[in-house]
Structure 1
Amino acid sequence: MASVIKIYALFLGSALLMFGGGLQGLLLSVRGAEEGFSLLSLGLIGTGWSVGFVAGSISVPLIVRNVGHIRAFSVMAAIGTVTILLNLLMVNDISWILLRALSGFCFAGAAMIVESWLNEVAENKSRGTIFSIYVTINLTASTLGQIAMSVTGTAGYIPFVIGAISFICAVLPTSLTSSPQPRPLASAKLDLGLLIRTSPVAAAAAFCCGMANGSFGTLAPVYGYEQGLDASGIAYLFAIAAIAGAVGQIPFGRLSDRIDRRWVMVGLGAGAAVTGALIVIINPSAGWLMYVLFALYGLTANPLYPIAVAHANDFARDGEFARVAGGMLLILGVGLAIGPTIASLLMGSISPAALFMVTAVFHAIITAFAYWRMSQRKSLDAADRTPFQPMGNDKQVTPETIVLDPRTDSDSPEMGHAEAPVPEELATQNEDRRDVQNGTI
């Protein structure tokens, strides 16, 4: 608890980032629809964010090594603030696509720096607590940012200015913190061979979750707008889906600790696919049924990626969790980038409800592949698995989030890894191990 109190400023900085990010992401989709942007342009705005976020995750560590954490964070926050204000001054689709990529880049860098500070002060005994609080704060702040649109609306300059204020204020806690500057940031490296050998179903689930969640996160606000919802209704619609998804992580995650995680993935994938199909068939107008269906979608779709990460970790060799999770992160990013563009094209050629054809298809793929894989590999006993760990919004997970995850420092036979134990000298030298991880993610 002392560690949590000591780093309250970093939690505050993260909350301000997530609040502004939640508001900006929802605002651009709805305001873009109101401005008459084509569905393809709206999809490319979501693609721009994902491309920029992945690029930032890869390249920002190099920037931090050159200028330091505080200066790099200040630059990221400043550019992010200027970007959202330029969204207000340059209301056209081409500008917003390019600016959204820049936002994703800056957001990835700023989030990674906050997370690296948290990782620096997190000891093994407090890492789980710090990570849980961090995830809770991120989910809460992002949801509040989305709900804020119900108050600000989408017209005029107010929502953009509020988002800018949130971004620029995030620089204050990190500038004033007395915590020492952390070690160099982690870099994400794609090790497809290791990931596929460790868990083919986790790799497939990462891509399919990216396709489905990237499409949903970018274009579901447009679907709500086309169905007659106002800004307030869309904000609450997204908040319900996010809250249901956050609540669902704990029971489904704990269930996956007790039974074959792939059965849970089959159930959740089937539930999300059926929910998507129902939305396509019913095509509900603004009303209680739409809110119920979106809540069911969030409840079933959002826990899938964290459970896939947990399944991969069950079969990872000691010391490989960070590399496996880093590979999943980049595969997820590919799906997040491709999904919105494909969904927007289908929505334009068929109907807005075609968005949920895309989500239903990729959730069905997860269901079928996970079911098939159960015939190819035996499940680990419950006692041999690493406990499930809730995760935040998969569109905002960075390589530093993986380093902060307590499973990164829990590579021991007692914590359920299937292979040989880590060498004794590494098991007893926590600082050396963290240095190794920071260079291999």
Structure 2
Amino acid sequence: MFSPLVTFPALYAATLLMLAGSGLFSTYMGLRLTEEGAGDAWVGGLMAAYYFGLVCGGKFGHRLIASVGHIRSYVACAGLATVIVLLHVLVERLEVWLLLRFVMGAVMMNQYMVIESWLNEQAESHMRGKVFAGYMVAVDLGLVVGQGLLAMLPSLDFKPLVLVAICFASCLIPLAVTRRVHPAKLVAAPLEIGFFCKRVPQALGSIFVAGLMVGAFYGLAPVYASRNGLDTSQASLFVAMCIVAGFCAQWPLGWLSDRLDRSWLIRGNAILLCLTAIPLWGLFSLPYWLLLANGFVTGMLLFTLYPLAVALGNDHVEQSRRVALSAMLLTTYGVGACLGPLLAGLMMQRFGPGMFYVLVSIYALALIFWVQPKRVTGRHRVDEAPLSHVPMPDTLSPMAVALDPRVEEVPEELLVETSASIGRSDDEPETREMA
């Protein structure tokens, strides 16, 4: 029987090591800056710079891969990521760190592109769902392993940075020695902003809100935990619990998503998220176990918004446009992920750590009013809708669509870049679908 873990061990191992380093690095940076009193705005700014680098890195990654190939570009970027991490040991100026985080984002985007384009080309079309699921397991397991490493080595000196550098250096080994054939070259596809803003505005709004919250989470959730009196190990466990919760909720949510109206599910998710975040506002002190429990529940709801919105958008877009739809969704998510840490950092610095979850409730409340199931006319609903729900990693990678089994027969050479040039708007008469 086909097993992705057996067929693609090098790609999954590289993903796990890469995300372990990335997860450890983000949490370490937030906790260290908090300990040194740098201010939450700086933590948010550094995370925003990272996501901005991810968004801009699509063009860079496409050109680098086209010039030197997949393995060479991955090895080069893994080496550069290792250098960037070690520079944090030698240089302690926050302005320099801001630039380094931007470069790290661009480098990581190239690595995501290499792995996902490779998985897409090597996987048979009827098995892409399993391959995608295996990739998501590697992503989330890597993030959790990163938190575990920090919990085992809670000192906020240079030692965690050495661990991050080891992870980034190690992740190039599996791909450097693999015998698999290189994927084909990558070609960009256009981004049709006007068409999708008319066709699936509710899906785009949900994606944007998900970006605001998830982008802020990875940088500022450790700060929230630390400012609430948790030590490094406890803060790492809090972040890990939220990530695990999102992972565990993907499959039960997928079962519901295939049977219930997705716009109602998004709205219900937002209502629950708005309410479950209230105990974390900081109005009263919570014991550690209750903080973990609340974090687990909010993590379940927060990390399932993105795949729900993707599924809703795909239900109302024809097969021929789903690659372009992914470009639009990724761009929208990336903009939200850039703005979210900035806003959350500024608000936390001014009003206290509880503002992190106050903002979560505010975003969820906005989503409740934005997603209106009665405004989904169904005019553009595809014949096979609802399409099978697919768990989605939130790595902001442009090749995720190619792995998505809802996109049938994607040409091997096709890549949607988050920084792709804007295509012409569709001139056909269009009814606002509000999906």
Match of 2:186, SS state, is: coil
Q: Which residue of 2 aligns with 1:51?
A: 52
* Matched letter for residue 434 of structure 1: P
Equivalent residue in structure 2 for 1:438, among 412, 415, 426:
415
Following the alignment from structure 1 to structure 2, what is the Cα–Cα distance between the partners of residues 264 and 407? 20
Q: Percent identity?
A: 28
Paired residues for 1:214-363 under 5 Å: 214-280=215-281, 282-285=283-286, 287-363=288-364
Q: Which residue of 1 aligns with 2:375?
A: 375
From the superposition, tell whether residues 72 and 348 of structure 1 become closer, same or farther in structure 2 (CA, over 3 Å): same
CA displacement at 1:285 relative to structure 2: 4.6
* Matched letter for residue 399 of structure 1: P
Following the alignment from structure 1 to structure 2, what is the Cα–Cα distance between the partners of residues 191 and 277? 38
Following the alignment from structure 1 to structure 2, what is the Cα–Cα distance between the partners of residues 72 and 82? 15
From the superposition, tell whether residues 381 and 77 of structure 1 become closer, same or farther in structure 2 (CA, over 3 Å): closer
Following the alignment from structure 1 to structure 2, what is the Cα–Cα distance between the partners of residues 439 and 38? 37
Q: Which residue of 2 aligns with 1:403?
A: 402
From the superposition, tell whether residues 439 and 85 of structure 1 become closer, same or farther in structure 2 (CA, over 3 Å): closer
Following the alignment from structure 1 to structure 2, what is the Cα–Cα distance between the partners of residues 89 and 82? 11
Following the alignment from structure 1 to structure 2, what is the Cα–Cα distance between the partners of residues 438 and 86? 32
Following the alignment from structure 1 to structure 2, what is the Cα–Cα distance between the partners of residues 211 and 190? 21
TM-score by length of 2: 0.91
Q: Which residue of 2 aligns with 1:41?
A: 42
Following the alignment from structure 1 to structure 2, what is the Cα–Cα distance between the partners of residues 399 and 240? 27
CA displacement at 1:186 relative to structure 2: 5.5
CA displacement at 1:155 relative to structure 2: 2.2
TM-score by length of 1: 0.90
Following the alignment from structure 2 to structure 1, what is the Cα–Cα distance between the partners of residues 134 and 368? 31
Q: Which residue of 1 aligns with 2:24?
A: 23
CA displacement at 1:308 relative to structure 2: 0.4
Following the alignment from structure 1 to structure 2, what is the Cα–Cα distance between the partners of residues 230 and 363? 29
Following the alignment from structure 2 to structure 1, what is the Cα–Cα distance between the partners of residues 88 and 416? 36
Q: Which residue of 1 aligns with 2:186?
A: 185
Q: Which residue of 2 aligns with 1:89?
A: 90
Q: Which residue of 2 aligns with 1:419?
A: none
Q: Which residue of 2 aligns with 1:109?
A: 110
CA displacement at 1:189 relative to structure 2: 5.0
* Matched letter for residue 401 of structure 2: I
Q: Which residue of 2 aligns with 1:63?
A: 64
Match of 1:71, SS state, is: helix
* Structure 1: gaps spanning 5 or more residues: 410-429
Q: Which residue of 2 aligns with 1:162?
A: 163
Q: Which has the higher contact order (CA 8 A, sep 6+)?
A: 2
Q: Is the 8 A contact 2:116 2:399 kept in 1?
A: yes
Q: Is the 8 A contact 2:71 2:175 kept in 1?
A: yes
CA displacement at 1:3 relative to structure 2: 6.1
Following the alignment from structure 1 to structure 2, what is the Cα–Cα distance between the partners of residues 154 and 98? 25
Following the alignment from structure 1 to structure 2, what is the Cα–Cα distance between the partners of residues 214 and 439? 21
RMSD of aligned residue pairs (Cα, Å): 2.0
Match of 2:354, SS state, is: helix
- Render the CA deviation track for 1:367-401: whole Å, top value 9, x for unaligned: 2211x243342496996311100012x2x130112
* Structure 2: gaps spanning 5 or more residues: 421-435
Following the alignment from structure 2 to structure 1, what is the Cα–Cα distance between the partners of residues 237 and 3? 36
Following the alignment from structure 1 to structure 2, what is the Cα–Cα distance between the partners of residues 358 and 52? 24
- Render the CA deviation track for 1:271-306: whole Å, top value 9, x for unaligned: 111122331153435511211111111011110110
Following the alignment from structure 2 to structure 1, what is the Cα–Cα distance between the partners of residues 56 and 257? 33
Structure with greater helix share of residues: 1
Following the alignment from structure 1 to structure 2, what is the Cα–Cα distance between the partners of residues 51 and 129? 30
Following the alignment from structure 1 to structure 2, what is the Cα–Cα distance between the partners of residues 310 and 244? 20
- Render the CA deviation track for 1:60-105: whole Å, top value 9, x for unaligned: 1111111211211111001100111112222232222211111111
- Render the CA deviation track for 1:101-160: whole Å, top value 9, x for unaligned: 111111111121111111121111221111111111111111111121100114222211
